[in-house]
Chains A and B, each alone.
Chain A
Amino acid sequence: MSDLAIELASVVKTYPFFTLDHIHLQVPHGQIMGLIGPNGAGKSTTIRILMGLVQQDRGEVRVLGRRMPAEQIAAKWDIGFASEDMRLYEGMTLAWHMEFIRSIYPNWDARYAQLLLKRFGLRAEQKIKGLSHGQRVKATLLLVLARRPRLLVLDEPTTGLDPVARHEILKELTAVMTDEGRSVLFSSHNTQDVEQISDRITFIDRGRIIDSMDKEAYLDRWRRLRLEVPSGMALPALPGIIGIRQDGRVAVATANAFAPDMANAYESTGARVKSIETMTLEEIFVANVEHSREQEVEA
């Protein structure tokens, strides 16, 4: 049994207008991996491939040690999957769905399910068609969480939820971490959620992985430097700087490989460093995507 919960190696999937290009992804056991990227980047496709719902054209996929999609049945006993485009049966009640899942999975935890009903403010006797969007999302997640699966794969679990519902979901997702043997992979547009609860972050854009690493180390590599530049000088881009915005004598440099001696390096060019700021994941997200698109244009 491998020590990785999820492993994608050189995965390629070609569509008429989109290609997933040599995806490498690793999620160790007991960690939360946040997958972020713009719309159409390939997040959902990557997730479908690792669930065995879509077969890759090339490359190896292993989930909980099982090869996908060949061993998908075995894998899916231990995986809880929820995606944004998934729908429950409108005409049936939440209680029916709970019983349906319970009749299939032996490790359904009825007490935890009841607790989740209360926490999420859901009523089991209610039909799915009577639920609001947020309630449906919570219902789908309840069905997945109450099984306590070893791996949770969630495609946009908090999208479209109000702040309270989001908070409830994040609480349950992090609670999963009390068990070291359980892992989570989730994709989200909400960079704040990803920044808060992920152990590792993977950035995907236009079918390519841009970055994939430890979240704290990643956040540490990015800084925004505010500088004052002598009149008439264009601020040089030192190694580790991916972008500079200058207006007259005021400049802002974005570093994606920050080193402590960068401030001194700039001072020696004549510029004055006014402040060095950390960046939120959202700011990093935008800077990263803009940068990688500029590079594509140049190439």
Chain B
Amino acid sequence: MSSRVIQTLILKDWRLHRMHILMSLAAGVVALALLQVKGESTFLVGTVWFFVSLIVLGSMVPVSNVVNERKKQNLAFLMSLPVSAVQYAIAKMASTIGLFLLPWGVLVIAASTFVMSRADIPKGIVPLMLILFGLPLVGFCLIAATALVSESEGFTVAATIVCNSWYGLVWYFIIRNPAINGDLTSPVPVWSPTVLTILTGEAAAVALILGVTFYLQSRKREFV
């Protein structure tokens, strides 16, 4: 029964965000098209386009999916349904992250297809790619969690700004790490302990964020 209600809530969120989903797919198609055209500059443009769309589309989601529901007073309507605060949080995090996974997934698939299809690109960059793609995912989970738990648009926007501005710094340090950039030119992917630790760390960070979110949500004593 409960899982059915949670499912209904997730689908409801995706239905409300159908425009976002369409735009993500469109952005992905455009980027893919750009990548097909041979040439350094289009590759660069394509990559930048990707990241920008990813960040823009991703940033809008926590506010439009999480904060607005409370701001527009839809929350009372939802909490009158047979759900607990924790179940609501589960549905909300799932739908929010799902909405992010769409543009993110398109990026990953497109980039991976591109790297795999081009013989002149050393496959050694695959581990770095995965690490780099993982970062916005972790960042997004953090922003979504902040939106849900803080119930504040201000905090959410602040978290979005902080996360987005730290990506550059983190990427810089990861790329400079010799344990990673040493294997970039290798023809096959190299799964060094450092790489595996970082990837595991990213997954663990997501799990931790979700766990803390559900815990904090269960402790709340007021929902409207």
Contact = CB atoms under 8 A, between A and B. Distances in A.
B222 A55 contact: yes
A76 B80 contact: yes
Interface-centre pick from A74, A85, A104 (highest chain B CB count, 10 A): A104
B16 A91 contact: yes
Interface in A60-110: 72-74, 76-77, 79-83, 85-92, 96, 100, 103-104
B15 to A, nearest CB: 8
B223 A53 contact: yes
A208 interface: no
Given A77-B82, A89-B16, A54 B222 contact: yes
Interface residues of A, number: 28
Nearest to A81: B80
Contact of B82 (A76, A90, A91): A76
B83 interface: yes
A131 to B, nearest CB: 15
A74 B5 CA distance: 13
A13 to B, nearest CB: 10
A194 interface: no
Interface-centre pick from A79, A81, A86, A140 (highest chain B CB count, 10 A): A86
Interface residues of B, number: 23
Nearest to A155: B76
Interface string B69-94: 00011101101111110010000000
A206 to B, nearest CB: 21
A48 interface: yes
Nearest to A71: B84
Contacts of B82: 73-74, 76-77, 104
Given A53-B222, A53-B223, A92-B16, A86 B84 contact: no
A81 B224 CA distance: 13
A140 to B, nearest CB: 8
A23 interface: no
B222 A103 contact: no
30 contacts: A53-B79, A54-B223, A54-B224, A55-B222, A72-B84, A73-B2, A73-B83, A73-B84, A74-B82, A76-B80, A76-B83, A77-B82, A82-B80, A85-B73, A85-B76, A85-B224, A86-B73, A86-B76, A86-B77, A86-B80, A87-B72, A87-B73, A87-B76, A88-B74, A88-B77, A89-B72, A100-B8, A100-B12, A104-B4, A104-B81
Interface of A: 48, 51, 53-55, 72-74, 76-77, 79-83, 85-92, 96, 100, 103-104, 140
Given A88-B77, A100-B8, 6 more contacts: A51-B79, A54-B223, A73-B2, A87-B73, A87-B74, A100-B12
